[in-house]
Amino acid sequence: MSTIEFNEMWREKLLNRFLNYVKIYSTSDAESETTPSTERQWDIANYIVEELKTIGLEDVSIDQHGYIMAYVSSNLENDNQPTIGFISHYDTSPDFSGENVKPQVWENYQGEDLVLNKESNFTLSPSKFESLKKHIGQTLITTDGNTLLGADDKAGCAEIVTAAEYLIAHPEIKHGRMALGFTPDEEIGRGAHKFDVAKFGAEFAYTMDGSEVGELEYENFNAAGAVVKIHGLSVHPGYAFGKMVNASLLAAEFIQSLPANETPSTTKGFDGFYHLMDVTSDVSECKLQYIIRDHDDEKFEARKKFMEEKVAEFNQKHGEGTAEVEIKEQYRNMKQQFEGKMHIVDLAAKAMKEAGIEPKIKAIRGGTDGAQLSYMGLPCPNIFAGGMNFHGPYEYVALESMEKATEVIINIVKA
């Protein structure tokens, strides 16, 4: 049974902290080469830093790339416990607008349709999202239908900070040293690229970046980004016969050349896919942005090669130089990094059971900072943060789910 009790004061702290975070515009940008990729991410980064100092954390720091670290010291007399880290990202996905987020709080949800926006009649309904039925009687936080919410991963940020604050306020809870890390640019696959593992000083860590309560993940997609550029020739349409090459039409042809049954909406479980993220096009040039995903290493390499072969075939048909592709690897499946280290996963599972949660160990159809960090020498499974329907206007999180995630963090750290 749980040994952590969240009274109304702590519920309000957690809720208000989360609401404050999501109102800060912090979307990342894959087109940028800087870290953080957007200046606006500094707003939430600096906000978190000041908050960590205010609640009494030690060695609070932020580097030139926006990586935040802070610590809760051990209160054990004879401390031989490892330093355990908890990490979340403060950027939000560029897949949908994250500007001017207006969160709405719905207390004592009873399973009804929630009209998020009366002007557009935008509705969050259990008939479309059955997961809502699991939150009867709970407090939901939703969007207003115009933006994403940002529970991915500001819920994780709020949970980690609240857990640290709770431990500081309850010295009777004996615990080892806790390291906190907050990163930019996770949503564009660069969240851990410049993370200083040695400085962080944890023997292992957990990303609080999962979804449904109970999720515990230590394997994920191998991931790459691919940019396909198609070059056309623009001339006046009245004089185009035999001359014009319409890049937009060529792009449509290329898109159709990839397997229609290997997309996110047609695959599940361990199936990989090609996902067309964005199209920027006119007559003279088109840019197609894809992500490539597969859990299996050999299949992942085959997918990257397949994309290159399709571009080569396209050039054979339409002329050399018509299309070009650049593929950049983003992260790898972290499963093999846990050989001989499953006690890290077992510790999280035990902490969940202590909180009255049945662990749901599964593979991530995505990735987290933890995938990269595990390859950088910091084993880092992923734990639920509670948010649902990420990256769009139907995103929501239950306050009770966030409470449970906070409790799991405390259970992991305490001796």
Q: What is the pLDDT of residue 78?
A: 81
Any domain includes 25? yes
Domain containing 262: what range?
222-331
User: Do 259 and 114 belong to one domain?
Assistant: no
Select from 268, 298, 331 the last residue of a domain.
331
User: Do 288 and 359 belong to one domain?
Assistant: no
CATH of the domain at 275: 3.30.70.360
User: Do 263 and 291 belong to one domain?
Assistant: yes
User: Do 166 and 34 belong to one domain?
Assistant: yes
209 annotated as a binding-site residue: yes
Q: What is the pTM of this model?
A: 0.84
CATH of the domain at 208: 3.40.630.10
**Dihedrals phi, psi of 290, to nearest 5 degrees:** -115, 155
Strand order in the sheet with 84-89: 58-62, 68-72, 178-183, 84-89, 204-210, 382-384, 215-217, 360-361
68-72/114-117 β-pairing: unpaired
User: Do 354 and 402 belong to one domain?
Assistant: yes
User: Do 240 and 349 belong to one domain?
Assistant: no
Per the structure, the count of domains in the chain is: 2
Any domain includes 3? no
Is 186 tagged catalytic? yes
Q: What is the pLDDT of residue 364?
A: 84
List 91, 153, 217, 403, catalytic entry: 91
Select from 269, 298, 331 the last residue of a domain.
331
Any domain includes 262? yes
User: Do 115 and 198 belong to one domain?
Assistant: yes
391 annotated as a binding-site residue: yes
89 annotated as a binding-site residue: yes
Measured CA distances, 97 to 22, 186, 364 (Å): 12, 16, 24
User: Do 188 and 59 belong to one domain?
Assistant: yes
User: Do 175 and 312 belong to one domain?
Assistant: no
User: Do 133 and 28 belong to one domain?
Assistant: yes
Any domain includes 203? yes
Any domain includes 319? yes
pLDDT tens by residue, the chain, 415 residues? 455 778 999 999 999 999 999 999 999 999 999 999 999 999 999 999 999 999 999 999 999 999 999 999 999 988 788 999 999 999 999 999 999 999 999 999 999 999 999 998 899 999 999 999 999 999 999 999 999 999 999 999 999 999 999 999 999 999 999 999 999 999 998 999 999 999 999 999 999 999 999 999 999 899 999 999 999 999 999 999 999 999 999 999 999 999 999 999 999 989 999 999 999 999 999 999 999 999 999 999 999 999 999 999 999 999 999 999 999 988 889 988 898 999 999 999 999 999 999 999 988 887 778 888 999 999 999 999 999 999 999 999 999 999 999 999 999 999 6
Any domain includes 265? yes
Any domain includes 1? no
User: Do 317 and 384 belong to one domain?
Assistant: no
152 annotated as a binding-site residue: yes
Question: Rounded distance, CA 293 to CA 221, Å?
Answer: 6
CA-closest candidate to residue 368, choices 91, 97, 95: 91
List 144, 185, 186, 294, catalytic entry: 186
Helix and strand element counts for the chain (H, E): 9, 18
Select from 273, 300, 331 the last residue of a domain.
331
Q: What is the pLDDT of residue 1?
A: 43
User: Do 37 and 116 belong to one domain?
Assistant: yes
Is 294 tagged catalytic? no
Any domain includes 2? no
187 annotated as a binding-site residue: yes
Q: Are 28 and 91 in contact (CB under 8 A)?
A: yes
CB neighbours (10 Å) of residue 249? Answer: 15
